[in-house]
Structure 1
Amino acid sequence: MLARSASLVVLLLLLVIHAASAAADADGQFVHQGFAAAGLALDGLAVVTPDGLLALTNATDQAKAHAFHPTPLHFRSETAAAARSFSTCFVFTIVSPYEELSSHGLAFVVSPTTDLSTANAGQYLGILNATNGTSTAGGRILAVELDTITDAEFHDINSNHVGIDVNSMISAQAREAGFYDDGAGGAFRELTLNSRKPMHLWVDYDGEAIDLSTVVADPVYVGFSAATGVLSTHHYVLGWSFSLDGPAPPLDFTKLPVVPRLGPKPRSKVLSVALPLATVLLVAASPAAVLVIVGRRRRYAEVREDWEEEFGPHRFAYKDLFRATDGFEDRNLLGVGGFGRVYKGTLPTSNLEVAVKKVSHGSKQGVREFVAEVVSIGRLRHRNLVQLLGYCRRRGELLLVYDYMANGSLDRFLYDRSRPVLSWHQRHWIIRGVASGLLYLHEDWEQVVVHRDVKASNVLLDHEMNGRLGDFGLARLYDHGADPQTTRVVGTMGYLAPELVRDGKATPATDVFAFGAFLLEVVCGRRPIERDGHGDPVVLADRVIERHRGGSVLDVVDPRLAGSYDAAEVTLVVNLGVVVCLHPWPDARPSMRKVVHCLDSGQPVPDVSPSYSSYSMATLMQIQGFAGSHAMSHDPSATSVGASSSTVFSQGR
């Protein structure tokens, strides 16, 4: 069964399909050696090039593509209730600008409809979405996914696997991508899906494992789906064959279209020999030319040490970042914070839009550990996190490279009156997204990641207004079950948990506290700590508690929403923030898993009034180590923590 070709790498699907499949249109068989005359039903980014190559995706990020055989197929036999057997094979190529990074994957799809308009891009591969199963019509979707990113929320086994999905992105079965080598006694050989090489995959269903007629509708459509995330990955299909009740026709590899070469052309041998010679002649001829060469080298000089070899793919060349940002010109400046300046750039070889943050690292001890953490954070993969792509070191600077978020930071929409007003639906969606991202950081990744700076200005919005938590410059990692280490107190006033100020230990509970402040910030359209007309601090949480006790919690909602919101959702979010997440005692706060469950299910937070009459005084007492009852009462005009304890806070960004 293993096809042989000198120019092709062969991929064998190492799964028994426990899901559904297809049947016939005329004779139930077709073969496409290229797609110029295939008449496929295309949508999204999908196009057929003039030479017959099916290009599912291109350099567009966060987009999807579909290509279906135009005629529906009948899975069920006219004479038997069970599903008929089928076989399909196709040749595909995944091309990424980076050796070890790509943007999600593609899938062979069996669907009751060709309309997948409500499916999501990114990790949903253009097949399903976050809230329901099939995107539109009834019936379920079967997919054979070729996945190149590990998504913990879908329990992916790794970032290079083949999976069988039945109306869920959590695979019913998944295996490492590879094949059995007949020439080596049947030994298993791994294959890298995003290797930029053509690969041949086939799927056979014989009806013995499970009756697929009980899984999918009839008739159905067969085809392909692909999606991009933050990297400009290209997904191609070169040829495809399909058959009911028998093996798929073989593909003639010599007739398949050629995948275009992406990226810079390799230097010729003549050029590699001529360049050193030209440099020697130039030095001999003109001392001024030497100064020009040295000056260019200084412009692009980097700090590189032996230990950085292990971080190879995550290390960007300073020259590329310099050119991407036009020399860090002010016109490309996206923002300035306490820790550095952020520039928009476009990488020269891939045309990927990025955000480059320049921060100072001092080139002292701890740089290696810090870079190791940067690279570890770069392995995080979640739809609600801004992807950290890599880094570069130059003299006293560390440059962090992130994916670019088209709509900037959330705080600009909350406080810049020239920006459009965010609807409650948008705010609620952003809140849920940030909560999902924090859950992934705290519990679902291989280590515990404490962000340490959750706030509206660090929530960025992509072109679809999805909220993504970014700026991991302060994040700390430690193993699950380990005790977090005491560290320097960093963060932003108004979001810092009182126990963090007291003992310096950043934990998931301190992130939950900051998330509580973030909830009130988004609902109220106000910062956690503001100044009144006399210059005195006004703590937003105290104001919300006062309204909560008076039964008028909706009075705190951003007046720009003008009553246009879901009162039950607003009440739930406010209660979640002020009653539990912002509780001065960490043990009283929920985990992010409980927070996400509450937001997703709509189940109201137990409407228990806070056991303290003033957030500010309770927080101050917690900072100063007061024990005893959580129930407190005092003069509500007492000085707030933001005023009396400002010296114990590190101002942050």
Structure 2
Amino acid sequence: MAIPNHIVTTLCLSLFLTFSFGQDEGQFVYNGFHGANLQLGGSAKILPNGLLQLTNTLKHRLGHALYKVPMSFKTPSSGFVSNLSFSTSFVFSMVPELPNSGGHGLAFTISPSMDFSQAVPSQYFGIFNISNNGLPTNHVLAIELDTVLSPEFKDEDANHVGIDVDGLISVASAPASYYSGEEKKNIRLELISGNPLQLWVDYDEEKKRLDVTLAPTRSFKPDRPLLSTSIDLSRVLVEHMYVGFSSSTGTLASDHYILGWSFNRSGQAQSLDIAKLPSLPSRKKSRQYAGKIVMLSSAGGAIFLVVVIAGATYTTRKKRYEEVREEWETIYGPQRFSYKNLYKATKGFKESEVLGEGGFGKVYRGTLASTDAQIAVKKVSHNSKQGMKAFVTEISAMGRLRHRNLVQLIGYCRRKGELLLVYDFMPNGSLDRFLFSAEKPSLNWAQRFRILRDVSSALLYLHEGWEQVVLHRDVKASNVLLDADLKGRLGDFGLARLCDHGTNPQTTQVAGTVGYLAPELSRTGKATTSSDVFAFGVFMLEVACGRTPIEPQGPPEEVDLVDWVLECWKVGAILDASDPKLEGDFLADEMELVLKLGLLCSRSLPAKRPTMRQLTQYLDGKATTDLPEIQVFLGAYF
């Protein structure tokens, strides 16, 4: 029996549409991103020439670009699809704001959701945060291109590629390089060179093997992958997954670009057409090197000779006065600035550029000529008692710590005994000026409460979130700086001490500021996380009450801040301790919570104080239990 023509036509059209839809859903290729079917988030945008920019040189930003159509890796009826294999290839470029200082990197991601609202930038790539990093419920596969050394994630260097499953401790990683068939060896690649590089990711479901291959854009795909690891992705992937890119910057920033992208859900990804890829923006030439090109002609032999002799003399003198880098500099090595550049940046360390002054010396505002980036330069005094020891401590601690609520150390300088530390510039200065100075407008309660949460998050990271325990030992309002958004950043690590988890620091020297020192320090001299908690408790009272811990000129009953707040609580009027400048404009529950937590932290017995994790949970409203009756916890006062 013959099938009518109109039925044949309908069947063919139906099959064609079904095949076309399945093909579009499972594979695509973008040689540039005009009209691309992408969901953009954060800083991500498509430039006029079709270039996908994930992040720019704004600090602490994240960007996402995900293919809008979810890929089917599992089906409800049959469990797994017949083949989980996939293949993808993309060309990327990272252009750092400062030479040789990337921040932080980008990652190809396969995620069950396009919602990254809980993610944070910096070392978390805009994918995870400190609380969900490493959870098996994440169901995230990421191939990271990491340009910052983060010891807490066991990074081996600041220029590596890693395979991440549900968190940022890579299941496999290697320094960025590619295998050259001609030279029969791996050749190193610099991720932050600014040059376009191509990455291939191939998963073979039958062999349960994931290969990651890196190469310069103009090279063929190398025969040997950079990474090849056995992994069963059926335990990671769920029914519907989104594929795309996530990127972030921290204190140091980079332009992160994707030039082209090819993906195939069930076969080999189509090759990109390199000739059709959009070009990168022209690089901004550093003023530092402008005008240094010397034009020589064959007629100027004498001039050439003079130049050669002068160059040789300059090189000899430079070597003569060049300081030898010590071992700790090689290990920790944040960017080393030249004294000349810092001198120019601070206008010769002019008094008009002084931001503040403390026991360690003066802090100057500066602007780097090469990038126009604003910095803060701490110039350690020659007569500082802490001197080199404190300098080394701050370099070693701050140079490796990465958290959105810490003031980031971005570099340093040493010259003839002068010690200089270069930080992120915090445009709003220190918190104490807002609390106590008539020159600054008073912060409202919402701003103060957020700052308390910011500092709490930073201390939790120092105590529990890093590879070692970091004891700050000088938590106070003057060491909390405010960024452009009035968010709190904990700084000044000159007194910090590091110890392994589960051990005590090897020090018996009392350090800190009167009014914030835990009582046990006068007996043992040993700082602990509990002594940091004590100082944070005083800091909370300081922020809520708008007054310093010790006020010798005040009435006798109000000299000591902790004792005064305790007396207010005893008579059932704890809210009377709130800052009069707030004029009662605050949430009573939040104010009472902060005041009570401050008292709990100031208990005389360290074991009776809450931990930073408990404090953070209460301040974030995520505590699993109600605040215990304060009367029970404050029994030691009576």
Q: TM-score range by the shorter chain?
A: 0.7 to 0.9
| 1:244 aligns with one of 265, 274, 289 | 265
1:145 alignment partner in structure 2: 144
The 1-side partners of 2:26 and 2:369 are apart by 47
TM-aligned CA deviation for residue 560 of structure 1: 4.3
Q: Note the aligned Cα RMSD (angstroms).
A: 4.6
Query: Pick from 340, 348, 366: which aligns with 2:369?
Result: 348
The alignment status of 1:224 with 2:245, answered yes or no, reads yes
**1:133-170 CA-partner distances (Å, limit 9, x unpaired):** 9xxxxx9766443333455777767653424355xx55
Greater mean deviation of Cα atoms: 451-460 or 157-166: 157-166
| Cα distance change, pair 608–385 in 1 and its aligned pair in 2 (3 A) | same
Task: Report what 1:407 is aligned to.
Answer: 428
Match of 1:592 in 2: 612
Provide the TM-score with structure 1 as the length reference: 0.73
**Partner Cα separation in structure 2 for residue 373 and residue 588 of structure 1:** 30
Residue 49 of structure 1 and its aligned partner are, at CA, apart by 4.3
1:32 offset after TM fit, Å? 2.3
In the alignment, the residues of structure 2 paired with residue 482 and residue 78 of structure 1 have an alpha-carbon distance, to the nearest angstrom, of: 52
CA distance in 2, matches of 1:216, 1:140: 11
Q: Which moved more, 1:92-101 or 1:463-472?
A: 92-101
Does residue 307 (structure 1) correspond to residue 306 (structure 2)? The answer is: no
The answer to whether structure 1 residue 485 and structure 2 residue 484 are counterparts is: no
Instruction: Work out whether residues 456 and 615 of structure 2, in 8 Å CA contact, stay in contact via their aligned partners in 1.
Output: yes
**What number of residue pairs does the alignment pair up?**
571
Quickly say closer, same or farther: Cα 1:566–1:85, change in 2 above 3 A: farther
TM-score, normalised on structure 2? 0.74
Is 1:500 the counterpart of 2:499? The answer is no
1:93 is matched with which residue? 93
Matched-pair identity in %: 48
* C-alpha separation in 2, matches of 1:187 and 1:486: 52
Q: Are 1:24 and 1:75, in contact at CA under 8 Å, matched by a contact in 2? A: no
Which of 262, 271, 285 is residue 294 of structure 2 equivalent to?
Answer: 271
- Residue in 2 aligned with 1:470? 491
Further displaced range: 490-499 or 27-36: 27-36
Residue equivalent to 1:5? none
- How far apart are 1:545 and its partner, in Å? 0.9
Determine if the alignment matches structure 1 residue 317 to structure 2 residue 315.
no
Residue of structure 2 equivalent to 1:461: 482
Change (3 A) 1:566 1:212: farther
Work out the CA distance in 2 between the residues paired with 1:463 and 1:270.
Answer: 39
User: In 1, Cα distance between the equivalents of 2:25 and 2:71?
Assistant: 10
2:479 and 2:492 in contact (8 A); partners too: yes
- 1:631–1:237 CA distance, 2 compared to 1 (3 A): closer
Q: Secondary structure at the match of 2:24?
A: coil
Instruction: Give the distance between the partners of 2:461 and 2:480, measured in 1 at CA.
Output: 15
Equivalent AA in structure 1 for residue 162 of structure 2: V
Question: Partners in 2 of 1:272 and 1:370 — Cα distance?
Answer: 44
Aligned residue number for residue 31 of structure 1: 29
Q: Which residue of 2 aligns with 1:557?
A: 578
Match of 1:45 in 2: 43
Say whether residues 1:60 and 2:82 are aligned partners: no
Q: Which residue of 1 aligns with 2:105?
A: 105
Q: Which amino acid aligns with 1:584?
A: S
CA separation in 2, counterparts of 1:302 and 1:576? 54
Tell me which residue corresponds to 1:607.
629
> Which string of whole-angstrom CA distances, capped at 9 and with x for unpartnered residues, describes residues 606-626 of structure 1?
33448889xxxxxxxxxxxxx
Q: What is the CA–CA distance in structure 1 between the aligned matches of 2:193 and 2:579, rounded to whole Å?
A: 50
Larger mean Cα displacement after TM superposition, 581-590 or 235-244: 581-590
What is the identity, as a one-letter code, of the residue corresponding to 2:294?
L
1:37, distance to aligned residue in structure 2 (A): 6.0
Secondary structure at the counterpart of residue 508 of structure 2: coil
Contact 1:98 1:313 in 2 (8 A): no
Match of 2:199 among 186, 198, 201: 201
Contact 2:260 2:277 (C-alpha < 8 Å) held by counterparts:
yes
Cα–Cα, structure 1 residues 303 and 363, in superposed 2: closer, same or farther, change >3 Å?
farther
Residues in 2 aligned to 1:155 and 1:553: alpha-carbon distance in whole angstroms: 46
Check conservation: 2:429, 2:481, Cα contact below 8 A.
yes
Q: Which moved more, 1:465-474 or 1:42-51?
A: 42-51
Letter in structure 2 aligned against 1:485: T
Instruction: Please give the alpha-carbon distance, in whole angstroms, between the structure 2 residues aligned to 1:115 and 1:631.
Output: 48
SS at match of 1:530: coil
Assess, with a 3 A threshold, how the Cα gap between structure 1 residues 341 and 269 changes in structure 2: closer, same or farther.
Answer: closer
Query: 1:546, 1:436 → 2: CA distance?
Result: 29
CA distance in 1, matches of 2:186, 2:97: 28
| CA distance in structure 2 between the partners assigned to 1:500 and 1:355 by the alignment | 32
- Contact 2:94 2:192 (8 Å CA) reproduced: yes
1:386–1:460 CA contact under 8 A, matched in 2: yes
Q: 1:145·1:162 contact (CA, 8 Å) conserved in 2?
A: yes
- Which of 559, 564, 567 pairs up with 1:538? 559
Whole-Å separation in 1 of the counterparts to 2:351 and 2:514: 29
In structure 2, relative to structure 1, the CA distance for the partners of 1:78 and 1:306 (3 Å cut) is closer
Distance 1:483 1:112 in 2: 43
1:354 partner letter:
I
Distance verdict in 2 for CA 1:205–1:362, change over 3 Å: same
Q: CA separation in 2, counterparts of 1:364 and 1:530?
A: 27
- Deviations along 1:256-280, one digit per CA (max 9) or x if unpaired, are 4454445539789963989998799
Q: Does 1:175 align with 2:162?
A: no
**CA deviations over 1:365-403 (Å, ceiling 9, x no partner):** 973784365244311112221111222234453211111
Post-superposition offset of 1:469: 0.7
> How far is 1:214 from its partner?
6.5
- Displacement, 1:242? 1.2
Partner of 1:359: 380
Residue of structure 2 equivalent to 1:524 = 545
- Verify the 8 A CA contact 1:40 1:67 in the aligned structure 2: yes
State the partner residue of 1:578.
599
Find the counterpart in structure 1 of residue 228 from structure 2.
none
**Deviation for aligned residue 1:413:** 2.9
Query: CA deviation digits over 1:424-462, x for unaligned, max 9?
Result: 443333223322322332344344432221101111122
Q: Give the match's secondary structure for 2:454.
A: helix
Alpha-carbon deviation of 1:65?
Answer: 2.3
Q: CA deviation at 1:85?
A: 4.4
**Alignment of structure 1 residues 257-268 onto 2, 5 Å:** 257-259=278-280, 260-261=282-283, 264=286
Partner deviation per Cα, 1:451-505 (whole Å, 9 max, x = no partner): 2211011111223333211011222334552542233x44322112233344544
Aligned counterparts of 2:25 and 2:386: Cα–Cα separation in 1: 71
Q: Which residue identity lines up with residue 232 of structure 1 in the other structure?
A: A
Summarize deviations over 1:62-108 as a string: whole Å, max 9, x none: 22223344656565679966356432111222233556642122122
Amino acid at match of 2:612: M
Q: Which moved more, 1:540-549 or 1:455-464?
A: 455-464
Structure 2 equivalent of residue 121 of structure 1: 121
- The answer on whether the counterparts of 1:382 and 1:437 sit within 8 Å (CA) in structure 2 is yes
1:2-21 aligned within 5 A: none
Question: Residue 514 in 1 paired to residue 535 in 2?
Answer: yes
Q: From the superposition, tell whether residues 469 and 161 of structure 1 become closer, same or farther in structure 2 (CA, over 3 Å).
A: farther
Q: Conserved in 2, the CA contact under 8 Å of 1:484 and 1:506?
A: no
Of 515-524 and 388-397, the range deviating more from structure 2 = 388-397
Amino acid at match of 2:89: C
CA pair 478-74 structure 1, distance change in 2 beyond 3 A: closer
Instruction: Say whether the 8 Å CA contact 1:24–1:73 is kept in structure 2.
Output: no
**Please, which of 450, 453, 458 is the counterpart of residue 437 of structure 1?**
458
Question: Which digits, 9 at most, give the CA deviation of each residue in 1:229-248, with x for residues without a partner?
Answer: 11121212122111232111
Structure 1 stretches lacking a partner, 5+ long: 1-22, 134-138, 285-292, 614-629, 633-653
- 1:339 corresponds, among 352, 360, 364, to 360
Question: Which residue number corresponds to residue 403 of structure 2?
Answer: 382
1:395 and 1:320 map into 2 onto residues whose CA distance is 16
Amino acid at match of 1:29: Q
Distance 1:164 1:213, change over 3 A: closer
Cα distance change, pair 376–458 in 1 and its aligned pair in 2 (3 A):
closer
Deviation at residue 526 of structure 1 after TM alignment: 1.9
- Asked if the contact 2:122/2:402 (under 8 Å) is kept, the reply is no
**Unaligned segments of structure 2, at least 5 residues:** 1-20, 207-231
